[in-house]
Amino acid sequence: MRALKRYDRRGFTLVELMIVVAIIGVLAALAIFGVRRYLASAKTSEAKNSVGAITRGATAAFERETAASEILGGGTSSAAASHSLCGSADAVPAAGPPAGVKYQPDTTEGEDFETGTAIAGWKCLRFSMTQPIYYQYHYVQGARIPGVTASPDPTATGFEAGAVGDLDNDAVHSIFTRGGSVTAGQLALATQVYIENEYE
């Protein structure tokens, strides 16, 4: 009778405890990897969304009819309204991509995203950011094949919107770009954002 009661109170063996600890360790490692990937994806979504917004701004600027300011004499007609892309905008921040930190854009008139005119720069694109950013953003008028051509051709009719970042401060940059070109009076956009070294 006593022997049966002693076996009823038996605990876990060392092997069973080791198996449970190993399973918990594997699950914890997977959770840490998943959280890191999620945080990196959250940061890169800033670049993807912003490049998309710059591209939409360039498209909207092209679709607006631009008419030259003219003084007309009697019996004359004005020049025809035209569609044109915005001129290039200065990169923000000008010093280069933030290295593992965020950059707070300066919202003062004439600084960062508050530069340009009605026909060029960030004001033409109607694009601005006021929250801290992980990436350096640029908009260049001229044809450029993202990831292939080193510099734009200003005589060509096209544009590139892009973001360059260094999230982990290792001097390896992640690049997000999307371009467009004007052919026969129509603006054609790249089908997707070109991405190089997404999580760098």
Q: What is the pLDDT of residue 163?
A: 94
> Quick one: tokens of 113?
């995203």
DSSP single-letter state for residue 115: -
- pLDDT in the model for residue 146: 46
Predicted structure pTM score: 0.75
Tokens representing residue 96 in the block: 């280069």
Q: Which two tokens stand for residue 49?
A: 């969304």
Q: What is the rounded distance in angstroms from the CA atom of residue 86 to the CA atom of residue 126?
A: 10
Check residue 2 and give its pLDDT: 57
**Which pLDDT score, from 0 to 100, does residue 149 have?**
47
| 3-class state of residue 124 by DSSP | helix
Residues forming beta bridges with residue 196, ordered by sequence position? 175
The secondary structure of residue 154, as a DSSP letter, is T
CA distance 113 to 194: 23
Q: What pLDDT is attached to residue 168? A: 86
Stretches where the chain sits below pLDDT 50 are 145-149
Looking up tokens 């990169």 gives 91
Query: What is the distance between the alpha carbons of residues 55 and 51, in angstroms, rounded to a whole number?
Result: 6
Span between the terminal Cα atoms of the chain, in Å: 68
